[in-house]
């Protein structure tokens, strides 16, 4: 068990190292000379550019540049934004809580819809409730985030004004307004995930319901409530939890688009803005932090999975 986790962590660290190398190479492959970009519009004489090149170490060979960059990054220094001059790390730190709030609310939407729908659909297999849940699952998978978001805006805000259509208010400033503004984005982001959870839950439950141990539970005279709610569900939850965890990381992707539609100044909006403004230091920092978050979440999911599954927890025979 410990060995497995150590190996898993080591692999995660190697993956992150290689990922940062890719980001480093990728950013340098972007069109345009970074020194000119860094210099900005006001200073375009060759001496200035050369000075910047030296100051940022851009005259050094790439491995040295990488080492310098990663050394600073580990200490939380991702440089400064070309556009605003603010430290990249401060920008990221200010945006992250907003995205976390959005993803958590979306997760809440996804789990409260997806899990019960999946269980009901499996237990009532072939009945109207199953068709309804399946229809919802397929629709949820097939409607892109931004189409759903716009459809919600057009039906619930433009004509009816039930919700504010876009923008963001800090929870600390006005909690009610904050939540009102988060409702539609959370539904937008949570719907496709609830569809995925529903489908996974249904499939795991169907597997569990035909398993020998469920037949054993029935042969013991246990109530259906306890057969389904305890014996079958507990086994299904192992896979479903894993899928939820992996989807949680995937929500990060969805947040980018959702924040763009609803103009929420979160982490994803920061990413897109940095792409459009060619603000490379910000882009670089955001992508690296996204990778760190993604890899960490996946690692945590793995650990949770092995804790949930006694076959792994107790004897340590890994997956």
Partner 1 sequence: MAVDPSARVDPGSLEPRVAVPGKGRSRRAQVWRRFRRNKTALVGLTCVVLFVLAALFAPVLAPFTYNQNFFEAVLAPPGGEHLMGTDDLGRDIYSRVLHGARVSMQAAVMATVLAMVVSLPLGLVAGYYRGAIDSVIMRLVDALLAFPFIILAIALAAILGPSLMNVTIALGVGSVPSLIRIIRGEVLGLREEDYVDGAIASGATDVSVLSRHIVPNLMNTLLVQATVMIPGNIIGEATLSYLGLGVQLPRPSWGVMLNAAQQNLSSGPWMLVFPGAAICIATLAFNLFGDGVRDVLDPKTHR
Partner 2 sequence: MTATGQAADTASTTQTRLQVDDLSVRFHTDDGDICAVDGLSFDLGAREVLALVGESGCGKSVTATAILGLLPDAAEMTSGRIVLDGTDLAGLSRSQLRALRGSKIGMVFQEPMTSLNPVFTVGRQIGEVLTRHLGHRKRQAREVAVELLDRVGIPAPRQRISEYPHQLSGGMRQRVMIAMAIACNPSVLIADEPTTALDVTIQAGILDIMRSLRSDLGTSIILITHDLGVVADIADRVVIMYAGRKIEQAPVEQLFSQPQHPYTMGLLGAVPRPGMAAMMHGADRRLAEIPGRVPVMTAPASDCSFHPRCPRAADRCRSLRPELEGRGHDHRVACFYPGEEGGAQ
Buried b (16+ CB within 10 A) or exposed e, 272-286: ebbbeeebbbbbbbb
Site string for partner 1, 187-226 (x = CB under 8 A): ------------x--xx--xx-------------------
**Which of 86, 138, 300, 319 touches partner 1 (CB under 8 A)?**
138
Smallest separation, CB 179 to partner 1 (Å): 23
> How many residues contact partner 1, by CB under 8 A?
55
**Which of 9, 112, 142, 230 touches partner 1 (CB under 8 A)?**
142
Helices (H), 88-127: 88-123
Measured from the CB atom, is 55 or 218 closer to partner 2?
218
Buried b (16+ CB within 10 A) or exposed e, 244-266: bbebbbbbbebbbbbbbbbebeb
Alpha-carbon distance of 28 to 251, in angstroms, equals 28
* SS3 of residue 87 by DSSP: strand
CA dihedral of residues 252, 22, 24, 264 (deg, nearest 10): -10
Q: Does residue 261 bind partner 1 (CB under 8 A)?
A: yes
Q: Does residue 167 bind partner 1 (CB under 8 A)?
A: no
Q: Does residue 15 bind partner 1 (CB under 8 A)?
A: yes
Q: Does residue 144 bind partner 1 (CB under 8 A)?
A: yes
Measured from the CB atom, is 225 or 276 closer to partner 2?
225
**Which of 96, 275, 303, 308 touches partner 1 (CB under 8 A)?**
275
Summarize the chain as % helix, strand, coil (round to 5): 75, 0, 20
261 binds, among partner 1, partner 2, none (CB under 5 to 8 A by kind): partner 1
Sort 234 into a burial class: Cβ within 10 Å, 0-12 / 13-18 / 19+: exposed
Spell out where the chain has E strands: none
Measured from the CB atom, is 184 or 209 closer to partner 2?
209
Sort 119 into a burial class: Cβ within 10 Å, 0-12 / 13-18 / 19+: buried
Q: Does residue 19 bind partner 1 (CB under 8 A)?
A: yes
DSSP 45: S
Which parts of this chain interact with partner 1 (CB under 8 A)? 11-12, 14-19, 21-23, 26, 29-31, 122, 138-139, 141-147, 150-151, 153-154, 158-159, 199, 202-203, 206-207, 249-250, 252-254, 256-257, 260-261, 271-272, 275-276, 283, 287, 290-291, 294-295
């Amino acid at each position: 068990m410990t060995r497995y986790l150590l190996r898993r962590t080591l692999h995660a660290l190697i993956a992150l190292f290689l990922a940062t190398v890719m980001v480093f190479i990728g950013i340098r492959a972007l069109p345009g000379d970074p020194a000119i970009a860094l210099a900005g519009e006001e200073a375009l004489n060759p001496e200035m550019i050369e000075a910047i090149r030296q100051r940022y170490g851009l005259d050094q060979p790439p491995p040295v540049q990488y080492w310098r960059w990663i050394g600073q990054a580990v200490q939380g220094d991702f440089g400064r934004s070309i556009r605003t001059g603010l430290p990249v790390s401060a920008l990221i730190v200010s945006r992250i809580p907003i995205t976390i709030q959005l993803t958590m609310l979306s997760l809440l939407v996804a789990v409260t819809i997806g899990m019960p729908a999946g269980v009901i659909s499996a237990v009532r297999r072939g009945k109207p409730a199953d068709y309804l849940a399946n229809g919802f699952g397929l629709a949820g998978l097939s409607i892109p985030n931004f189409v759903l978001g716009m459809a919600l805006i057009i039906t619930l805000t433009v004509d009816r004004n039930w919700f504010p259509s876009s923008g963001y208010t800090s929870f600390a400033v006005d909690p009610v307004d904050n939540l009102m503004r988060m409702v539609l984005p959370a539904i937008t982001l949570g719907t496709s995930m609830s569809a995925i959870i529903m489908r996974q839950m249904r499939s795991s439950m169907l597997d569990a319901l035909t398993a020998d141990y469920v037949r054993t539970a029935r042969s013991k005279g246990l109530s259906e409530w306890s057969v389904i709610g305890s014996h079958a569900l507990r086994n299904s939850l192992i896979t479903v939890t894993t899928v939820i965890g992996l989807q949680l990381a995937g929500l990060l992707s969805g947040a980018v688009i959702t924040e763009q539609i609803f103009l929420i100044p979160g982490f994803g909006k920061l990413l897109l803005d940095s792409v459009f403004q060619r603000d490379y230091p910000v882009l670089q920092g955001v992508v690296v932090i996204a990778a760190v978050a993604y890899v960490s979440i996946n690692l945590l999911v793995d650990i949770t999975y092995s804790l949930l599954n006694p076959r792994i927890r107790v004897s340590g025979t890994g997956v």
